[in-house]
Structures are given as structure tokens and as C-alpha cells.
Amino acid sequence: MKNSNFFLLAVTAATVVSCGTHPSSYTINGTVSDTTLNGNKVYLTDMASRNVLDSAVIANGKFTFTGKADTALICQIQSRPYRMELVLENGDIAVEMGETDKRLGTPLNDSFALFMSDMDSLQNTIIAKQQEIMQKGLSEEELREAWQDFQTNTIMPEFNRVMSENFDRNKDNAVGAWAIANWNLEPAQFDSVLNLAGETLKANPLIKMMIQQQEILKKTAEGAMFTDFTIEQPDGSKVSLSDYVGKGKYVLVDFWASWCGPCRAEIPNIKELYDKYHSKGLDVLGVAVWDKVEDTQKAIKELGIVWPQIINAQQIPTELYGIQGIPHIILFAPDGTIVARDLREEAMKEKVAEVMKK
């Protein structure tokens, strides 16, 4: 009850400020429902630069950040295991962090709260449908088909509707920038949406970063020639992507890390393709990124990986290819052009089978 009263008082104060002059600084008054976090640090991080802007200690379920925002930024507040996003703008901002989170008190945070509410509603729809599908007693194949149908005909259209509506309401502010950043747009779609945006949105650090990212994706899109990189190995030797790609064979390149669960789960699928097609001219290459050398070497043994590896690549190839998440698997043609990227599971198997028939 005390935390709720504190939150309401903070919101009331924010409303009073918003009715007066334009504030020149910000105050974030936060409450945390989990009492076990008392004494822990909470961090305020800029989502574009990933820089920590400030930290505070949680005391009696409360924390405060103060400062000045020259421009509105999308930031994250985090104290493990909880994290939440908000718009850092001048004014009094009230937040609640826990199993559920709230942010309001300034115009952009009120808009952001509406955006998050729409996303929560979509998430609830997905969870309910997933439970419904699981209760039907379907076979594994039928489950896969039912889920794929739901994704294609319901999830993606609804997701695009939510993103489009929230962008339309926020075409020239940080909330609109966040919508674009989380929309998973192809380069051509990104350009079309950005053309509808205002100058303030285009100047947002998140969007500036995405513009650079989109240029990289265009240079490494399907049909483009591979971009080479060279990595020094633990034994002092240097290995390049061009040592494997562009040598007259199809090459499946897996960008992965030992700590990445989905990466490890993809290894049996890659092994299946390696066993089936390597003797027919398919090469496979692993590129270990964002990982410790000793952890990569241990995982190679644990997972029984027999194809060549470039290890200790860190962020070099992921920056060159605009890779934001792993595993990221790219199929290169014999001449070194990119056939397909971001391949996973059945789609990967189908694409490899398709090209190996030629």
C-alpha cells in the first residue's frame, strides 16, 4: 500500500509540473515491489549507446535518478532479475518495476505506456493461443503446422498492426523511434517507414544507429558478394572467411557462441546437413563470436563439432554483417555471393537441399 501511495503521489506531482513551465531536468521516482532487492543497485542505461548513465541504491523499495536530458532517449532501468524501458525526458517520471512495470508522468512516457499496453495484450493473446494448441493433443507435426499457421495468419498481422498504429501516433518522437527499432523491418520497408518520420525521430540516436545498421544489411543482403574478415587464432595463426568462402563450393557459415542455448540447439541440424551433403560438395564453417576462447573450445568437444571453426572472432564479423542475435547462419554460393541469411531449422534444411540439387 505504501508503494502504491508513493507511485500515485509521484504521478500527481508530475501532472502538476506538466501543466506549468517546460521542465529543464528530470527526476525518476521509482518503486520496486520485490523487497529482496533492497540494498541492490539499479542502473539507468541508454539503449542506443548501451552506456550506463547513472546508478542508485534501492532503499525501502524506492530509488531515484535525477539529471538533465538534452534530448529524449529510450533508456532501460535494470536491477536483476527485473528490467524495463522508459523515455528519459525532462520532467517528473514515476515508474514501478517488478513482475509488471509502469511508467508515466511525462507526455512521451504516457505514450510509451500505451505502446507497452498494446504489446502486453498481444503477448497475452499469443500465450492463450499457445495453451489452446497444446491442449488439443496434436502430434508433433500437427503442432508445428498449427503454430506456423497461427504465426503467419495471426501473430505477424497483429504485430504489424500494433507497430504501425504506435508509429503513426509517434512519428516524430522517441516512442516512434522505439517502434521502428523493434519492428524487424527489411531494408526497403525501413526506408519507406523512415520517409514518413519527422526530423526529431530521424535524429534520435537509436535511429541513427539503425540507419548505419541498414546500410550494412544492404551490403550483405542476398545476392551480395561476401565481406571478408581475418581473425587471429589462439595459436597465433590468422584465418580469413575467404579461406573457405568463394572457393567453388556452397558454404554454410554458423555464427555462434558456447553460452547461446539456441546456438547449441541448432548444432544437430547443422550436423545433419554436414553428414548428408559434405561428401557432395557442401562445406560448413563455424565462426565463434562474443565468447571466451576456452569456452568455445570446450563446447566444440562437448557438441562433437567436426567442421572447421574460426574462434575468438568476437564482434568483428557481427558488425560487418549487421548480426544482432545468434545463431545467425548464412549460406554462401560457390562464387562467394550470399544465397540466404538468418537460416534456422527446417528453413535451413530446405534451402540447402534446394541448392544441392542444382
Q: Could you please report the per-residue DSSP string of 203-237?
A: TSHHHHHHHHHHHHHHHTSTTSBPPP-EEE-TTS-
Nearest-5° Cα angle at 165, 164 to 166:
95
What pLDDT is attached to residue 35? 94
The type of residue at 122 is L
Domains and CATH numbers, the chain: 26-103 (2.60.40.10), 110-220 (no CATH), 225-356 (3.40.30.10)
Q: Which residues contact residue 161 at a Cβ distance below 8 angstroms, ignoring those fewer than 6 apart?
A: none
pLDDT tens-digit readout, 68-111: 999 999 999 999 999 999 999 999 999 999 988 999 999 999 99
* 198 strand-pairing partners: none
Structure letter (DSSP) for residue 70: S
The type of residue at 157 is P
C-alpha cell recorded at residue 185: 523491418
> 159: how many CB neighbours lie within 10 A of its CB?
17
What pLDDT is attached to residue 64? 98
Q: Which residues contact residue 103 at a Cβ distance below 8 angstroms, ignoring those fewer than 6 apart?
A: 84, 85, 86, 87, 93, 94, 95, 96, 109, 112, 113, 116
pLDDT beneath 70: ranges in the chain: 1-21
What pLDDT is attached to residue 358? 77
What pLDDT is attached to residue 21? 65
C-alpha cell recorded at residue 115: 505502446
C-alpha cell recorded at residue 136: 488439443
Distance CA 331, CA 99 (A): 40
What pLDDT is attached to residue 2? 40
The candidate with the shortest Cα–Cα distance to 211, out of 45, 322, 320, 318, is 322
Distance CA 23, CA 87 (A): 15
**In whole angstroms, how far apart are CA 101 and each of 7, 34, 266, 293, 340?**
12, 12, 34, 38, 39
* 64 strand-pairing partners: 29
What pLDDT is attached to residue 338? 98
What pLDDT is attached to residue 186? 85
